[in-house]
């Protein structure tokens, strides 16, 4: 039966239809309706049925995982603003950084915010991993999520390392030179890895564009996917565990 035949306002009918498509079963007035609501709602389904009160205390988790995620969001936003001004070119990169510091409005604020948030994220992720280890929260059934967390730690370190070259000053060039030379001595794939990272034999334009793409596209995308899996497993495993 159409809205006109029922004498219902079309806007009201549309709103009721949209609301019904999101919340399909109405208010959970009975256990059956509550179960159906939880099973068909993503945000309710990803949460565990029961959680220990002690597991969600701030004094227990120190909110280190939440702080790491907040810093990731802060880095994404500040990085987007920096991308409007920065050009990944050996002829312009260093001057762009100088202009950000001394010419562009709020440029110094954005750069320092991005830089300090990156250092803080490395610290909070390390502390989060240490907290999980010392409290035994990596034990079954959470060993899979511990592996995901380890990959997130590696991604965080690679994000910090890949951003090191972008200012294109002497400190950055020599730091990347040392880092990629260390990769060259890896068994079997070392020379190939060194060549792929630099796009040649020396730290030049090829290396800068590769590290730029890694820093702004590849590694953030990997980190985001791993975070989604990590958060999902945290909720399905009952948040956190311990000794």
Give the DSSP letter string of 75-96: HHHHHHHHHTT----TTTHHHH
pLDDT exceeds cutoff 70 at 221: yes
Name the DSSP letter for residue 48: -
Q: How much is the pLDDT for 124?
A: 97
Q: Contact, 207 vs 201, CB < 8 A?
A: no
Q: How much is the pLDDT for 239?
A: 65
d(CA 72, CA 117): 8
d(CA 181, CA 196): 12
pLDDT tens string 77-126 = 999 999 999 999 999 999 999 999 999 999 999 999 999 999 999 999 99
**Superfamily, domain 53-236:** Cytochrome Bc1 Complex; Chain C (1.20.810.10)
b/e sequence 130-157, b meaning 16+ C-beta within 10 Å: ebbeeeebbeeebeebbebbeebbebbe
> Domain extents for the chain?
10-45, 53-236
pLDDT exceeds cutoff 90 at 145: yes
Peptide bond into 182 cis (omega under 30): no
Supply 40's token pair. 């068909």
Q: How confident is the model at residue 181 (pLDDT cuts 50, 70, 90)?
A: very high
Q: What is the pTM of this model?
A: 0.81
Query: Whose structure tokens read 């060039």?
Result: 173
Q: How much is the pLDDT for 243?
A: 47
């Amino acid at each position: 039966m159409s809205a006109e035949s029922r004498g219902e306002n079309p806007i009201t009918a549309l709103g009721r239809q949209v609301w019904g498509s999101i919340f399909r079963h109405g208010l959970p007035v009975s256990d059956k309706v509550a179960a159906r609501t939880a099973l068909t709602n993503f945000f309710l389904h990803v949460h565990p049925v029961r959680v220990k009160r002690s597991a969600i205390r701030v004094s227990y988790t120190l909110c280190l995982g939440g702080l790491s995620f907040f810093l990731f969001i802060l880095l994404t936003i500040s990085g987007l603003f920096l991308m409007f001004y920065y050009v990944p070119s050996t002829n312009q990169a260093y001057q762009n950084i100088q202009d950000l510091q001394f010419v562009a409005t709020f440029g110094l604020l954005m750069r320092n915010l991005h830089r300090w948030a990156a250092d803080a994220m490395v610290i909070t992720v390390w502390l989060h991993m240490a907290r999980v280890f010392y409290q035994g929260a990596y034990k079954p059934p959470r060993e899979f999520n511990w592996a995901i967390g380890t990959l997130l730690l590696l991604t965080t370190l690679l994000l910090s390392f890949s951003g090191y070259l972008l200012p294109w000053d002497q400190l950055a060039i020599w730091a990347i030179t040392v880092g990629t030379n260390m990769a060259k001595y890896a068994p079997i794939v070392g020379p190939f890895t060194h060549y792929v990272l630099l796009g040649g034999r020396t730290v030049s334009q090829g290396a800068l564009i590769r590290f730029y793409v890694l820093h702004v596209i590849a590694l953030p995308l990997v980190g985001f996917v791993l975070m989604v899996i990590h958060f999902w497993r945290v909720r399905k495993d009952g948040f956190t565990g311990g000794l």
